[in-house]
Amino acid sequence: MLNRLSLRVRIFLFFAALAVGALIALGVGLTLGYRRLGSPETLDAFVQGGVVAAFAIVGLVAWVWYLFDVNVAKPIDILAGALRARAHADVTGEMNAAIARYLGDLAPAATAAAASLSETRNALAEAVARETTRLTDEKARLEALLSDVPVGVLLCSGDHALAFYNGQAVDLIGAGSAAPGLDRQVFDYLRQGPIQLAHERLMATGDPDAASDLLCTTVNGARVMAARMRLMGGDNGAIPGYVLTLRDVTADMASQARREALLAEVFDRVRRPAANLATLIEVIPEGSAAPGRLDTALREEVLQLAQAVTELSRRHDESRDDGWPLTMTRDFDLLEGLRARIEADGLGVTTTAADLLLRCNGFEIIALISGLAEEMGKQGLARDFDLQVQEDGTGGLIRLIWAGASLPMALLDQWLERPLEPGLSDVARRSVLAMHATEIWPETLPDGRYCLCLPIPQARRVVRRPAPIARAVVYDFDLLSKARNAKVQDARLDDLTYVVFDTETTGLLPAQGDEIVQIAAVRIVNGRRVDGEVFDTLVNPRRPIPLSSTEVHGITEAMVQDAPFVEEVAARFHKFAEGAVLIAHNAPFDMEFLRRLEPKLGLRFDHPVLDTVLLSAVVYGQHEVHSLDALTHRLGITIPEEARHTAIGDTVATADAFLKLMPMLAGLGLQTFGEVVGEVRRHGRLLKDLN
């Protein structure tokens, strides 16, 4: 029990016990003396003397305790905090030995120990730097290689959290939505079904070198991508992570469709005039087309032209059957892409797969069927659809089913003559049917519903696992092997993801109508601040900004005039902070502004919260000043003058302070989030704990 009390409290209790003991001894002595004397007339004298002596004893003990507290206990606490900062947070400033002038050689010894530790650290850092230079160069080369590869690369943990992404991946999955972020779910950017199914499929093979090709789409259905997944890790019984390479086939297939349409049009236009020219030459009597040998040469050239056009047209038609656009695509992936496109148009859809591999151009089939569904929605024929894939002999059958009005064949023919995509004006939907050697037609089902039937001539059941392919690059990332714990209370501090944030406001009284004018946040993942993942925006408060507030944070009404309102910003911040522990300096103030928006947003800011004010009190004691300036000064963190009292400047300073406090908390034996919160609640006199 006493071990949980601070040094100053224990010393106070010691002197209090000493005073109580002295008073008891005084009382016992006076009582025995009075009884032995046996004179009632001396009772008042004994009482008065006892009271005076008691006050003298209490005063003397209190005075000695105060001197001991100020000159011994408090300096020891300060000295311990300074040593802990140098031991765990790599603070290098000189220690103030004057505060411990009554502690004999303790302060000089502590200063010498800190200096020796600093020298040892510097020597060790130089040795480590020399030994790791080669690894750093290799890492830089690997990062350059991965950033320059022409495909997007994602590395995900076994629970589908992003551990790495390159620039191409940002362009592919971040377009039109939030940019990817470390430790976020890949399903925030790509449709869940195909990726999760491929992951489960690869784990079921039991082959660590197996790979799986899949077709996936962005969550908004804007892009269709060809992907390849390969497992990584999975040691010690953990769920293996995976590498996902992405290639945008939307643009590739659109370009291919244009070339195919152009070639088909060329052959269609040339074939008929060549045939007519050959027929015309045949009906003209020999020798009358041109004199002598010129007539013979003319007939031979016309015949060769007709034969060449016929041969090239035949070879082009054959190449459609084995060209790269027609690949084996899983029906589940195809249906997920269709679902994304159809739902993006505001229509409802359910899907039923048959576990088939369809030989088709996934982009064209998705564009064709989703386009027809959109046309039906615009015509008012249907708003909800049921997409099914069925086995049909040696092929497959895609059926788009709806309840409502029937689709006339004439109207379907009109829609098939329209462009496949808005950006493909020269590629008609009907060309997709020609490419796949198939047709599409409407039918009436026995239950009274209607459907569009699209046969795919070649399909097969999924029976074989992917063949393993040798890997050329191996790399190790801590996030892939990080053991995760669903319970935040039991999680180690360095295993959690944090979002450190700060707000600037119109004033200090949210209950009286003050509003946020700026909010900024940074993310801490795996014990480091991620430079590229920053949330920073001005906010239109819908009210004047007092001059006194502008003098503090420098934000004027003109600066926020065109800024988004707080409801939009708060919703975006909630998404940015999803799954993370929130950290702020004086968190109750900032959280009150956010939590009062919960009824309007329909969201709850129920994240776990840590306050660096309380963490500073845990490390340095409540007697210290715990302002952000004081804390950063103690930790050797410099806040540029121009950044102080800006949301992003204070956020970065708070994040850096927290990163230095983490090892100091560990040095106190506080390893998990729950242990830290339990210790924080002992300092409730400073601020309210929000957990």
Ordered DSSP codes for 230-288: EEE--GGGPPPEEEEEEEEHHHHHHHHHHHHHHHHHHHHHHHHHHHHHHHHHHHSPTTT
Is the confidence at residue 473, as pLDDT, over 50? no
Please write the tens of the pLDDT for every residue from 178-216.
678 888 888 888 888 888 888 888 888 777 777 788 888
Task: Look at 342 and 120; give whichever has higher pLDDT.
Answer: 342
pTM: 0.57
Q: Where are the beta strands (DSSP E) in 157-197?
A: 162-165
For residues 442 and 450, the answer to whether their CB atoms sit within 8 Å is yes
pLDDT score of 334 more than 80: yes
Tell me which residues are annotated as active site.
645
Nearest-5° angle of CA 31, CA 32, CA 38? 90
3-state helix, strand, coil in the chain (%, to 5): 55, 20, 30
Cβ atoms of residues 353 and 331 within 8 Å: yes
CA dist., res. 530 & res. 535, Å (int): 12
Judged by average pLDDT, the poorest of 19-23, 248-252, 487-491 is: 248-252
Three-class SS of 469-488: CCCCCCCCCHHHHCCCCCCH
Tell me whether residue 63 is exposed, middle or buried, using C-beta atoms within 10 angstroms of its C-beta: 0 to 12, 13 to 18, 19 or more.
exposed
Identify any residues that bridge with 343 across adjacent strands, giving them in sequence order. Answer: none
312-326, 544-558, 570-584, 602-616: lowest mean pLDDT where? 312-326
Q: What is the pLDDT of residue 322?
A: 46
**Per-residue confidence band for 293, with pLDDT thresholds at 50, 70 and 90:** low
pLDDT of residue 349: 92
pLDDT of residue 425: 66
In which band, very low, low, confident or very high, does the pLDDT at 323 lie, cut at 50, 70 and 90?
Answer: very low
Question: Of 165, 199, 205, 198, whose CA–CA distance to 181 is shortest?
Answer: 165
pLDDT at residue 651, rounded to an integer: 93
592/505 Cα distance (integer angstroms): 12
Give the number of residues written for the chain: 691
Q: Is there a contact between 149 and 166 (Cβ–Cβ < 8 Å)?
A: yes
Q: Report the distance separating Cα 74 and Cα 62, nearest Å.
A: 16
Q: Are strands 241-248 and 162-165 parallel, antiparallel or unpaired?
A: unpaired
User: Please, what is the Cα angle at 202 between 198 and 204, to 5 degrees?
Assistant: 115
By C-alpha distance, which of 243, 214, 245, 215 is closest to 231? 243
Tokens representing 685 are 């006199």
pLDDT score recorded for residue 288: 57
Name the pLDDT band for 442 (thresholds 50, 70, 90): very high
Which among 144-158, 168-182, 576-590 has the top mean pLDDT? 576-590
Residue 475 has pLDDT above 50, yes or no: no
Q: Note the pLDDT tens digit of each residue in 98-120.
A: 777 777 777 777 777 777 777 77
Q: Given a cut of 90, is residue 296 above it in pLDDT?
A: no
Average pLDDT taken over every residue of the chain: 81
pLDDT > 70? residue 316: no
Reported confidence tier of residue 429, pLDDT bands at 50, 70, 90: confident
Q: If pLDDT is split at 50, 70 and 90, which confidence band does 687 have?
A: low
Query: Which residue blocks in 516-646 are alpha helix, DSSP H?
Result: 547-553, 557-560, 566-576, 587-595, 598-601, 612-620, 628-634
Tally Cβ neighbours within 10 Å of residue 454: 23
What pLDDT does 505 receive? 93
The reported pLDDT for the residue numbered 295 is: 65
**Among the listed ranges 160-174, 319-333, 626-640, 653-667, which one has the minimum average pLDDT value?**
319-333
Tens digits of residue pLDDT in 605-638: 989 999 999 999 888 888 888 888 889 888 888 8
The pLDDT of residue 497: 92
Largest CA distance in the chain: 168
